Amino acid sequence: MPKARFLDKTLLAVANVAQQSLFSESFSVRRGLLQALDARVKLVTFLFILILISFLHDPRSLWGLYIVSLALAGLSRVPLGFFLKRVWLFVPLFSAAIVLPAVLNIVTPGDPVWVLLRLSGPRTWGPYSLPAEITITEQGLRGANLFLSRVAASVAFAILLTLTSKWSAIFSGLRSLFAPRIFVMTLSMTERYLFVFLRLIQDMYRARKSRTIHPFSPAAERHWTASRIGVTFKKSIDMSEDIHKAMLSRGFQGEFRSLDRFHLSPADAAWVAAVLFAGVVLILFEKGILNS
């Protein structure tokens, strides 16, 4: 029997978002090192680390930071297997696949390490050319290593931030980065109503799936999907009106006040000092002032 795969795929996409949010929520309330930090401090320091990573040019520094991220995950009670899977499963593995051709002399010319193919002669098509020998180059390997180390370190710290922070704390922490109040308020409202929408989509698709004995033609299914997007949009506009009225009835006058109160502790100060120290050490190491 033909299956309506698009129904399952949509339900799966909705379930994945809910699952990711559930995991993040469960780790963010654990009693660990990063969970204990003030949201502002964590956001600013993680941003500093991500910018620092983008300035580092030695894979040893980047892999060093990646190992630190593993230690931080452990100290923050994030299971190592889960963390490794979450970090590597998407961006770095995808990046490894796309960077593979860059190790060849076609993309990165340089000293050959391994000859893969010998052609009768070089070929040229407009801006594209093939050398007589297709080789893996030393420069290509070094470039791929640097690129992958940077992506892995960046993704590890970005995932660590999302896993160990409550979403509301991240949004409130954005205020410390001078994000306008209205932007922060919109973000937190979006997060809240995102789950209302996910539930709405799930209900629509489950109802449809439960009534599907045989799918319609692809054209009819496309029309049906488009109608669900249209319905979701209509509901979003209606809901925004209702929410606005509810806000006004509770005395909202356009001013956003956060209930989160931040308390800087000695642990926060120690964390900031440690991050700054690590940053200085890495910069000195990269400049060659500090030897390994």
Partner 1 sequence: MHIPDGYLGPATYGTLFGITAPFWGYASWKLNRTLKSRQAPYLALGAAFSFVIMMFNIPVLGGTTGHATGTTLIAVLLGPWATIIAVSVALVIQALLFGDGGITALGANCFNIAVAGGLAGWGIYRVIAAGSDVRSKRRLVAAAIAAYLSLNVSALLTAVELGVQPLLERSPEGQPLYSPYPLTITIPAMLLEHVFLFGVVEAVITALVLRYLQKHEPEMLRL
Interacting positions 73-92 with partner 1 (CB under 8 A): 86, 90-91
Of positions 6, 48, 262, 285, contacts partner 1 by CB under 8 A: 6
Helix (H) or strand (E) holding 217: none
Window 148-187: contact mask with partner 1 (x via CB under 8 A)? --xx-xxx--xx-xx----x--x---------x-xx-xxx
Quick one: 197 or 262, whose CB is closer to partner 1? 197
Quick one: 57 or 120, whose CB is closer to partner 1? 57
CB of 229 to partner 1, least distance (A): 5
- C-alpha pair distances (Å), 186 with each of 1, 171, 200: 45, 10, 20
Quick one: 30 or 58, whose CB is closer to partner 1? 58
Interacting stretch for partner 1, rule CB under 8 A, among 71-79, 141-149, 263-271, 275-283? 141-149
CB of 48 to partner 1, least distance (A): 11
Quick one: 113 or 198, whose CB is closer to partner 1? 198
| 243 part of the interface to partner 1, by CB under 8 A | yes
Of positions 67, 247, 269, 270, contacts partner 1 by CB under 8 A: 247
> What phi and psi values does residue 276 have, to the nearest 5 degrees?
-65, -40
CB of 266 to partner 1, least distance (A): 27
Q: Which two tokens stand for residue 185?
A: 């308020």
The total number of residues shown for the chain amounts to 292
Interacting positions 9-38 with partner 1 (CB under 8 A): 9-10, 13-14, 17, 20-21, 24
| β-sheet bridge partners, residue 179 | none
Distance (Å, rounded) from C-alpha 128 to C-alpha 140? 18
Distance (Å, rounded) from C-alpha 182 to C-alpha 77? 34
Q: Are 125 and 140 contacting, i.e. CB atoms less than 8 angstroms apart?
A: no
Distance (Å, rounded) from C-alpha 59 to C-alpha 79? 25
- DSSP H helices, 136-217, are 138-163, 167-174, 181-210
Of positions 239, 272, 278, 283, contacts partner 1 by CB under 8 A: 239
CB of 149 to partner 1, least distance (A): 9
Cβ atoms within 10 A of the Cβ of 149, count? 22
| 135 part of the interface to partner 1, by CB under 8 A | no
Quick one: 118 or 206, whose CB is closer to partner 1? 206
Query: Residue 134: exposed, middle, or buried by beta-carbon count in 10 A (0-12, 13-18, 19+)?
Result: middle
- C-alpha pair distances (Å), 191 with each of 235, 238, 244: 17, 18, 16
Q: Which two tokens stand for residue 176?
A: 């410390």
Interacting positions 203-232 with partner 1 (CB under 8 A): 218, 221-223, 225-230, 232
| β-sheet bridge partners, residue 129 | 124
Quick one: 225 or 269, whose CB is closer to partner 1? 225
Interacting positions 96-125 with partner 1 (CB under 8 A): 99, 102, 107-108
Distance of CA 198 to the CA centre of its chain: 20
Window 249-288: contact mask with partner 1 (x via CB under 8 A)? ---xxx-x--------------------------------
Distance (Å, rounded) from C-alpha 28 to C-alpha 174? 17
